Amino acid sequence: MDERLNSFHDLYLTEAIGSDSFVKLFSPVFMEHSMALYQPGNVILKGLQGSGKTMLLNLLRPEIRLAYYNNQTEFPVNKDLRKFISGGINLRKSGVAEFGQLILPGSSIEFVRELTLHFGDFVNYWVVQDLLRTLTLISEVGYKTLASEIGINTDLKVFDKFSKALSRSDCWLGGLNEVNSFKELQSQLNARIISYRQYLNLNIDQLPSSISKSKTAIGEPISIVAELLKSCNVLDDDTNVFIRIDQYEELPSLDFSESDFGRSCQELIHKALSARSSRVSYRIGARHYAWPEYPEIFATTGSLENKRDFSIINIDEALRRAENRKGWIFPALAEDVFIRRLKLTKYKFDHGVSVLLDDVLGVALSSDQKSKMLVASEQSRKSVIKYEKNWPIKWVDFLEKLSVEDPFSAKLAEAWVRQKGKEKQEPLHNIPEEKPYPWDKKYWKKERAEQALVQLASRNKQQLIWQGKNDLIGLSGGNILIFLFLCQHIWDAWLRDTRDEDISCHTLPKINVNAQSMGILNASEEWLKKPVEGKDSKRRLQFINRVGYRYYNILVDDFAMSNPGKNGFSLPLDELEAKANDDVRKFLNLAVDYGDLHESVHTSKTKGEKRKKYYLAPILCPAFKIPYKHIKEPEYMAVKGIREMIKESTQNKSLSSKKKDIEADDLPLQFNLFE
């Protein structure tokens, strides 16, 4: 029986693994980019699903701190930043969406405002309760050393003293009765939360008047808790108190019955941050566009300012490759995660971190090698070139011979002669006789290599070949979840491919090209199904399909390879930001937020013009048989064109008819050599 395991099958979502596994699998590689999380000051942690937001926030949670302690593993935060406690709320899991459901069509503005204040009160009580839970967990017998490292006094008498002082604070506006013990305090907080949940569950028709009359101001009790923890000697003066608010992106969706409830809740959260209290610092986990450009503050005309009121950690930006490869940390993170997975599944190896992926996946194939695999037989090689009837016979003979010897070079030669022949007649009659041929020039070749492979695969009805560390890292697009997803599928394909072979479950695999390519294609097709989740999912999926097929058709039909960078589009920024184009901008933002598209600033070929460029997420590219690399200029488009594409994509036009449309309207002209 085959006992080999897929190291990536279970636990592939690192953000949600159990505490003990977290310790083994958490990679500290990103830590240096996220140090702001462990220092005073408000931080907005932005990232896509699976980018690791929750994982980084989890490092603040007491359960994870205890797990590191229990496993006797060094906590991956700098020693001088380890003095902190945290409490928090996950806006989705805590059920705050139910607040919005209480709004009826025609509900008065006053009612919505009252409900917003109740939301703030609920958040206060929940977070304070969670802070107290943190103290309870870490002050348990057996964690004295850890408590001391954090700066927690575990003497129950000081807990009680703190509880009494807190219950007497004005910040509760009469919502708490005076208590004598920590337990009593927890029980009162809990009772209030239960009342809220009963109300939200419609088990009671209205909240007790004692709650309605004692709504607290957002952030205030939290701040007082932090202050009293220190003044009552529960916490050392220099112990930081961090408040985690995760799934902030839930809030904008709470605008029920055409109210502004969700936006008001966002503004309320901003209000908590606006206090810029030295006592507590907030950490907000949010998708990119959920966090507004101008975060307005509830009941004021002001808004929060970046760098003054908060700083931003953009995980995707930090992990995605910039124009320059230098300083790109994702490959190191991926290697580290890879090695941890393999160790956990008991593969035996003694390789250094930087060579393990190469060792398992093998050396990356050159375009030339890939082309020979794509068109292996002599017969198939003869059909890689699309000859024009009016080409001189000597060119046809030359290309036919070259395509058998070197199909990759022949494909480039075909493009070269189509391009040059358009400009002047001379190249058509003078065949280059010696190597290096003009189409072997370094950049000319490099810019067209991917497109040549797309065309070779298409002519021969083959899938593209995806293989090696660079493809794996590149297709991951800086997202560790996608990296693991790809590994999972490669591993599955390898296990299937070698099921009859006698391979020890401890032997480090050498995964062949076919298994890698198949695994990656499967992963891509699976990932393509994913956008059917989330807001406007159907339209997004239809649009993705349209974009994918559009660029496949463009790349395949552009025999002259005049536009090898057309696997994405670019839009002028001023047009995109115009009010009249809100619909398209919001739609593209949504697609970017869900990771369907990758967006970046585009340096226009027109001097001074600002543009944004958009590409399909690299993981989706194998499913559409298009390259994930961004070479040369993307397609320059107007917002109107994208609006049209969005519209068309929802009209379920068949792909063949779309292909005709593209050929007729949008494709670059196919040059006739003898025009």
Partner 1 sequence: MLSGNFRPWGHFSWVENKLEEREWCFLGCLSTEDRFIAAVEQAKLRFQLLSSLFIEVKDEESEYTDRVLEKNGNHALLLQSLLGSTHTVQQLKLLGSPILLKQAITEFIAISNGNIVLDISCFPKRFFFPIIKLLHESDDVQNLLVCYSLPDKYHDGPLSEEPLSWSHIPMFQQSEILTTKVEKAIVGVGFIALGLPSLLKNDYNDAEVTLLFPFPPGPPNYQRTWEFVQEIEKFYPLDDSERIVRVDVKDVSGCYDHILNLTDNGTNTSILAPYGPKTQSLAMALFAIKHGCGVFYTQPKYYHPDYSSGVKFLRGIPEIYLYCIKLDGRSLY
**575 is a contact residue toward partner 1 (CB under 8 A):** no
Among 355, 376, 532, 655, which residue interacts with partner 1 (rule: CB under 8 A)? 532
Cα–Cα distance for residue pair 263/260, rounded to 1 Å: 5
Report residue 620 as tokens.
């989706």
Cα–Cα distance for residue pair 470/452, rounded to 1 Å: 19
CB 102, min distance to partner 1, A: 6
Cα–Cα distances in angstroms (integers) from residue 186 to residues 130, 134, 158, 316, 456, in the given order? 10, 12, 15, 39, 68
**208 is a contact residue toward partner 1 (CB under 8 A):** no
Query: Is 645 within 8 Å of 569 (Cβ atoms)?
Result: no
Among 256, 310, 347, 636, which residue interacts with partner 1 (rule: CB under 8 A)? 256
**526 is a contact residue toward partner 1 (CB under 8 A):** yes
**513 is a contact residue toward partner 1 (CB under 8 A):** no
**194 is a contact residue toward partner 1 (CB under 8 A):** yes
Complex with partner 1: residue 14 or 403, whichever CB lies closer: 14
491: closest CA among 466, 464, 512? 512
Dihedral of CA 298/300/301/304: which sign? negative
Cα–Cα distance for residue pair 516/493, rounded to 1 Å: 7
Cα–Cα distance for residue pair 249/561, rounded to 1 Å: 42
CB 320, min distance to partner 1, A: 22
Cα–Cα distances in angstroms (integers) from residue 204 to residues 53, 105, 645, in the given order? 36, 21, 49
CB 120, min distance to partner 1, A: 18
Report residue 403 as tokens.
């395509």
**102 is a contact residue toward partner 1 (CB under 8 A):** yes
Among 71, 73, 78, 198, which residue interacts with partner 1 (rule: CB under 8 A)? 198
Residue 294's φ and ψ, nearest 5 degrees, are: -120, 90
Triad 140, 145, 151: Cα angle to 5°: 85
Cα–Cα distance for residue pair 666/302, rounded to 1 Å: 47
Cα–Cα distances in angstroms (integers) from residue 516 to residues 491, 617, 662, in the given order? 8, 19, 32
Cα–Cα distance for residue pair 411/452, rounded to 1 Å: 6
Q: Are strands 610-616 and 597-603 parallel, antiparallel or unpaired?
A: antiparallel
Tell me the per-residue interface mask from 30 to 69 with partner 1, x by CB under 8 A, - otherwise: ------------------------x---------------
**73 is a contact residue toward partner 1 (CB under 8 A):** no
Burial group, residue 204, by CB count within 10 angstroms (0-12, 13-18, 19+)? exposed
Complex with partner 1: residue 101 or 177, whichever CB lies closer: 101
CB 473, min distance to partner 1, A: 23
**400 is a contact residue toward partner 1 (CB under 8 A):** no
Cα–Cα distance for residue pair 310/174, rounded to 1 Å: 32
Complex with partner 1: residue 107 or 470, whichever CB lies closer: 107
Query: Is 132 within 8 Å of 185 (Cβ atoms)?
Result: yes
- Amino acid found at 501: E
Complex with partner 1: residue 18 or 668, whichever CB lies closer: 18
**101 is a contact residue toward partner 1 (CB under 8 A):** yes
Complex with partner 1: residue 385 or 495, whichever CB lies closer: 495
CB 452, min distance to partner 1, A: 35
Triad 538, 539, 542: Cα angle to 5°: 90
Q: How many chain residues bind partner 1 (CB under 8 A)? A: 43
Q: Which stretch binds partner 1 (CB under 8 A): 103-111, 398-406, 423-431, 554-562?
A: 103-111
Among 73, 187, 190, 278, which residue interacts with partner 1 (rule: CB under 8 A)? 190
Complex with partner 1: residue 15 or 666, whichever CB lies closer: 15
Q: Which of residues 81-100 bind partner 1 (CB under 8 A)?
A: 92-93, 95, 97-98
Cis omega (within 30 of 0) for bond into 221: no
**253 is a contact residue toward partner 1 (CB under 8 A):** yes
Complex with partner 1: residue 107 or 563, whichever CB lies closer: 107
Report residue 570 as tokens.
């670019």
Of the chain, the end-to-end C-alpha distance in Å amounts to: 67
Q: Which of residues 132-161 bind partner 1 (CB under 8 A)?
A: 133
Residue 485's φ and ψ, nearest 5 degrees, are: -60, -45
Complex with partner 1: residue 137 or 332, whichever CB lies closer: 137
Complex with partner 1: residue 130 or 336, whichever CB lies closer: 130
Query: Is 86 within 8 Å of 60 (Cβ atoms)?
Result: yes
CB 517, min distance to partner 1, A: 20
Q: Which stretch binds partner 1 (CB under 8 A): 192-200, 299-307, 389-397, 459-467?
A: 192-200
**653 is a contact residue toward partner 1 (CB under 8 A):** no
Complex with partner 1: residue 222 or 626, whichever CB lies closer: 222
**260 is a contact residue toward partner 1 (CB under 8 A):** no
Furthest-apart CA atoms within the chain: distance in Å: 100
CB 283, min distance to partner 1, A: 18
Complex with partner 1: residue 200 or 318, whichever CB lies closer: 200
Considering only CA atoms, give the Rg of the chain: 30
**506 is a contact residue toward partner 1 (CB under 8 A):** no
Cα–Cα distance for residue pair 190/624, rounded to 1 Å: 52
Query: Is 396 within 8 Å of 387 (Cβ atoms)?
Result: yes
Among 71, 180, 187, 201, which residue interacts with partner 1 (rule: CB under 8 A)? 201
Is residue 76 helix, strand or coil?
A: coil
CB 240, min distance to partner 1, A: 24
**515 is a contact residue toward partner 1 (CB under 8 A):** no
Complex with partner 1: residue 253 or 504, whichever CB lies closer: 253
Cα–Cα distance for residue pair 45/285, rounded to 1 Å: 5
Complex with partner 1: residue 54 or 570, whichever CB lies closer: 54
Among 72, 145, 203, 377, which residue interacts with partner 1 (rule: CB under 8 A)? 203
Tell me the per-residue interface mask from 209 to 248 with partner 1, x by CB under 8 A, - otherwise: ----------------------------------------
**536 is a contact residue toward partner 1 (CB under 8 A):** yes
Q: Which of residues 5-34 bind partner 1 (CB under 8 A)?
A: 9-10, 12-13, 15-18
**344 is a contact residue toward partner 1 (CB under 8 A):** no
CB 203, min distance to partner 1, A: 7
- In 436-559, which residue ranges form alpha helices assigned H by DSSP? 442-459, 468-476, 480-497, 513-529, 537-557
Triad 442, 444, 619: Cα angle to 5°: 95
DSSP symbol at 344: H
Which residues contribute to the site for partner 1 (CB under 8 A)?
9-10, 12-13, 15-18, 54, 92-93, 95, 97-98, 101-105, 126, 129, 133, 190, 193-194, 197-198, 200-203, 250, 253, 256-257, 526, 532-534, 536-538, 650
